[in-house]
């Protein structure tokens, strides 16, 4: 009860504070805030006094705050004290912990991948290790969030894990000393094709621009680079200033890269390059996809608007909103959307219209009729309202439902664990392939296991049956229905062969990662990367490259889906 009384006292203190502040602002908005704070404080007091069960004021308050912010936009979030470290990681790329990816598999948390050279790696933890206990407490049934918060902690402290490893009879203990874990913004940089530089950029945390500049200069040292490829695929963004400084490597000092416009005058700012450029002439291709967002879009879009790079891939996510993190009481914070950003042509690439909510509570895309045309530095036409539309559009790779089921149900992951146990080493990442014998071994491994999945055709057939039943037509079509269902099931038995290349690709990436970590995974993926091939060809074809940037090849107007449901991604800002 003392704890509850403390929360009530806190609420009253906050209300009193707002009463004092807002009394000086006798406007309708201030009165509404004051009135509703008073209602809230009385409501939680009555709940505490009369509700049939004990309440937790802290949890109720957080639920109310999160529901309130959910009515605004997806990026305005409440950050309780317990999650502050997670948000620090977004901006700094650093945290205290054991340095390992984990995932939930059934009732247990499993090690997905120890970071190379991390405490978990040095202690001998391996992908596939199941965590049975953490610091003597049972981990079974614990959520990903529960275990993750315990594994993280101040550098120099220890955590004790009880591990069950596939193929070993008895569980064993590991005592791991936490360290400050730094996730590199650039997991790989190298030469591709004939003297073309390639840099994979996965984040825009502190020092991203410095890291990319160093990687670029290292590639130039001793190599007569014919071009540069910057890979932003899957990069959900980060710090705005890092995007500006990376663009600065390739454009003149004093060039505006992005401006922000908000309700408050102090949010209206221009962000221009401040340093001498490194290379103003080298051909640049930027690779993007549907998950390239926020700072990635600032970088790709500004280089496109300034006709400094060819953008290649799929239309980007479309996040044109700027967030600030503001401190709240008791070490809590709020990440709040304060402005929209605009790239050099003047366009905002925000794709979702959060200002106009639908009747069902969802948000729609910017309608095609409201999309406007803008001009690049060389006079090329580009468009707003839906992310960055690439200069060279490629088709995203689509995986079959079978491949996704095998991956999503961890059969690919578990087979890789078995494979590593039976094979102490493999060939280098750039030469390793899934042979027919390995593939057949995987087929034997999943035999009898439940990897059931439904195709779109099966779902459509089920919908037809349900509609026919409601309208009393099913008896008339039952024979044809049964025939189609049987044919589909027979065809699905051939899917393992039909989609063998996709399954091999997933197996290859998972297995290579076990031996060569993230760097090896990237190297292996680049070997058969059609978009990398297109990027290299674009740089090598001088006429095509200059033609795109001069406007000789006209960029098509983007086809933007209307449904907000297409936005399954939730990029990190």
How many angstroms separate the CA atoms of 386 and 351, rounded?
4
Measured in whole angstroms, how far is the alpha carbon of residue 564 from the centre of its chain? 17
Annotated active-site residue 294? The verdict is: yes
**Residues whose CB is less than 8 angstroms from the CB of residue 226 and which lie 6 or more positions away in sequence, other chains included:** 194, 195, 196, 283, 539, 540
Tell me what pLDDT residue 567 has.
35
Q: Which of 184, 231, 289, 305 is catalytic?
A: 305
Tell me what pLDDT residue 442 has.
97
- Whether 560 and 386 have beta carbons less than 8 Å apart is answered as yes
Count of C-beta atoms within a 10 Å radius of residue 40: 15
Q: Which of 100, 118, 292, 294 is catalytic?
A: 294
Residue 503 gets the label, from left (phi > 0), alpha (psi -120 to 50) or beta, of alpha
How many angstroms separate the CA atoms of 465 and 181, rounded?
54
Instruction: Quickly list DSSP for 413-432.
Output: HHHHHHHHHH-S--S-TTT-
Annotated active-site residue 345? The verdict is: no
Q: Which of 126, 142, 319, 335 is catalytic?
A: 319
**Residues whose CB is less than 8 angstroms from the CB of residue 505 and which lie 6 or more positions away in sequence, other chains included:** 434, 528
For CA atoms 152, 158, 162, 165, give the dihedral sign: positive
One digit per residue, the tens of pLDDT, for the chain of length 573 reads 444 444 433 333 344 444 444 444 457 778 888 998 999 899 999 999 999 999 998 889 889 998 998 888 888 989 888 777 677 776 677 889 999 999 999 999 999 999 999 999 999 999 999 999 999 999 999 999 899 989 998 899 999 999 999 989 899 999 999 999 998 999 999 999 999 999 999 999 999 999 999 999 999 998 899 999 999 999 999 999 999 999 999 999 999 999 999 888 888 999 999 999 999 999 999 999 999 999 999 999 999 999 999 999 999 999 998 888 888 888 889 999 999 999 999 999 888 776 665 655 556 666 777 788 999 999 999 998 789 999 999 999 899 989 999 999 999 999 999 999 999 999 999 999 999 999 999 999 999 888 877 777 878 888 888 898 888 888 888 888 888 888 777 666 788 889 999 999 999 999 999 999 999 999 999 999 999 999 999 999 999 999 999 988 765 555 544 333 333 333 333
How many angstroms separate the CA atoms of 210 and 216, rounded?
10
For the chain, report the end-to-end CA distance as a whole number of angstroms.
Answer: 40
Tell me what pLDDT residue 451 has.
84
Q: How far from 550 is each of 216, 303, 313, 390, 543, CA to CA, in Å?
A: 26, 14, 19, 15, 10
| Beta strand pairing call for 77-79 and 137-138 | unpaired
Beta-bridged to residue 327, according to DSSP, are: 333
Paired tokens of 7: 């929360």
pTM of the predicted model as reported, rounded to 2 decimal places: 0.83
Tell me what pLDDT residue 74 has.
83
Tell me what pLDDT residue 563 has.
37
How many angstroms separate the CA atoms of 400 and 455, rounded?
9
**Residues whose CB is less than 8 angstroms from the CB of residue 448 and which lie 6 or more positions away in sequence, other chains included:** none
């Amino acid at each position: 009860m003392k704890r509850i009384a403390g929360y009530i006292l806190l609420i009253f203190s906050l209300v009193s504070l707002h009463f004092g502040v807002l009394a000086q602002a006798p406007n309708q908005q201030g009165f509404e805030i004051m009135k509703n704070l008073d209602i809230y404080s009385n409501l939680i007091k009555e709940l505490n006094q009369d509700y049939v069960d004990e309440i937790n004021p802290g949890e109720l308050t957080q639920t109310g705050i999160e529901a309130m912010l959910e009515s605004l936009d997806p990026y305005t979030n409440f950050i309780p004290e317990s999650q502050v470290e997670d948000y620090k990681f977004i901006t700094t790329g650093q945290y205290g912990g054991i340095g390992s990816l984990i995932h939930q598999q059934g009732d247990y948390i499993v090690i997905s991948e120890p970071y190379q050279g991390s405490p978990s790696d040095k202690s001998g933890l391996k992908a596939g290790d199941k965590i049975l206990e953490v610091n003597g407490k049972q981990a079974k049934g614990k959520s990903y969030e529960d275990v993750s918060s315990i594994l993280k902690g101040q550098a120099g402290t220890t955590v004790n894990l009880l591990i069950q490893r596939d193929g070993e009879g008895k569980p064993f203990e590991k005592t791991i000393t936490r360290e400050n874990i730094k996730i590199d913004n650039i997991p790989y940089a190298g030469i591709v094709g004939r003297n073309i530089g390639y840099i994979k950029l996965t984040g825009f945390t502190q020092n991203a621009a410095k890291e990319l500049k160093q990687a670029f200069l290292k590639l130039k040292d001793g190599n007569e680079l014919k071009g540069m490829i910057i890979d932003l695929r899957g990069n959900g963004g980060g710090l705005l200033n890092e995007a500006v400084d990376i663009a600065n490597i390739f454009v003149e000092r004093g060039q505006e890269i992005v401006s922000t416009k908000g309700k408050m005058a102090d949010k209206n700012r221009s962000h221009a390059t401040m340093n001498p450029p490194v290379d103003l002439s080298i051909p640049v291709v930027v690779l993007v996809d549907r998950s390239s967002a926020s700072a990635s879009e600032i970088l790709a879009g500004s280089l496109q608007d300034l006709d400094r790079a060819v953008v290649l891939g799929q239309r980007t996510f479309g996040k044109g909103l700027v967030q600030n993190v503001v401190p709240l009481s008791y070490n809590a914070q709020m990440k709040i959307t304060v402005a929209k950003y605009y790239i050099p042509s003047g366009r905002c690439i925000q794709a979702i219209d959060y200002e106009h909510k639908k009747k069902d509570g969802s948000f729609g895309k910017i309608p095609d009729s409201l999309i406007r045309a803008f001009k690049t530095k060389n006079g090329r036409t580009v468009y707003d309202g839906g992310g960055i539309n690439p200069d060279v559009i490629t088709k995203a790779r689509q995986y079959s439902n079978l491949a996704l089921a095998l991956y999503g149900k961890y059969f690919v992951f578990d087979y890789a664990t078995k494979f590593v146990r039976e094979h102490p080493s493999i060939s280098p990442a750039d030469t390793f392939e899934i042979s027919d014998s390995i593939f057949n071994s995987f087929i034997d491994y999943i035999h009898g296991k439940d990897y059931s999945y439904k195709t779109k055709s099966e779902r459509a057939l089920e919908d037809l049956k349900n509609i026919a039943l409601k309208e009393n037509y099913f008896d008339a079509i039952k024979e044809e229905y049964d025939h189609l269902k049987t044919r589909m099931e027979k065809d699905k038995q051939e899917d393992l062969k039909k989609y063998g290349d996709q399954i091999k690709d997933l197996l290859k990436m998972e297995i290579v990662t076990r031996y060569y970590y993230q760097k090896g995974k990237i190297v292996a993926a680049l070997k058969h990367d059609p978009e990398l091939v297109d990027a290299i060809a674009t740089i090598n074809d001088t006429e095509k490259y200059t033609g795109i940037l001069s406007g000789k090849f006209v960029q098509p107007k983007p086809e933007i889906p209307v449904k907000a449901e297409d936005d399954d991604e939730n990029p990190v800002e």
